[in-house]
């Protein structure tokens, strides 16, 4: 029962975080072309007002539930080394942990990333993580 709850929390929290990145990159960036810079600033700030209340908590939930899920699913390392599943899961976990660490440092400690200041790179990593989650059981 704990596993199912952790998986549901993980899926929902990743959905919230990924949805924010999707909306920010694909919609808010395009709106800039249709409205004035001043209006775009207002729209983006209004959007971010609500994002700041929900997305950081969802990111923490995603990281914590992800740590639990990897501890359950990774399994033992055989004498032959890591399986393809373990390699894909390890890459997915590394990318997720990097996103989580970056987000937590930025939101809760005010440490701005030195590179990748936009949300395009984190969005690309979320897409890669989703792809890995779909193929890792069949590799």
Per-residue pLDDT tens for 66-106? Answer: 999 999 999 899 999 999 999 999 999 999 999 988 888 88
> What does the pLDDT read at residue 4?
96
Entry pTM: 0.84
In the chain, the largest separation of any two C-alpha atoms, in whole Å, equals 61
**Which pLDDT belongs to residue 115?**
64
Provide the pLDDT for residue 105. 85
Question: Which portions of the chain are predicted below pLDDT 70?
Answer: 114-116
Question: How far is the CA of 61 from the CAs of 5, 40, 80, 128, in angstroms?
Answer: 12, 30, 34, 20
> Is 85 exposed, middle or buried, given 0-12, 13-18 or 19+ CB atoms closer than 10 A?
middle
Please, are residues 99 and 126 in contact by the beta-carbon 8 Å criterion? yes
Residue 121's pLDDT is: 87
| Domain limits for position 39 | 2-135
Number of domains in the chain: 1
């Amino acid at each position: 029962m704990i596993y199912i709850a952790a998986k549901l929390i993980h899926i929902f929290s990743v959905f919230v975080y990924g949805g924010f990145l999707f909306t920010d990159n694909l919609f808010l960036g395009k709106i800039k072309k249709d409205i004035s810079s001043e209006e775009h600033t207002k729209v983006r700030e209004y959007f971010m007002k609500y994002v700041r209340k929900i997305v950081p908590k969802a990111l923490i939930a995603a990281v914590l539930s992800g740590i639990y899920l990897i501890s359950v699913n990774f399994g033992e390392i055989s004498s032959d080394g890591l399986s393809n599943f373990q390699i894909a899961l390890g890459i997915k976990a590394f990318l997720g942990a990097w996103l989580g660490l970056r987000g937590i440092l930025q939101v809760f400690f005010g440490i701005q990333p030195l590179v990748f200041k936009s949300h395009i790179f984190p969005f690309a990593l979320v897409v890669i993580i989703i792809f890995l989650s779909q193929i890792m059981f069949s590799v």
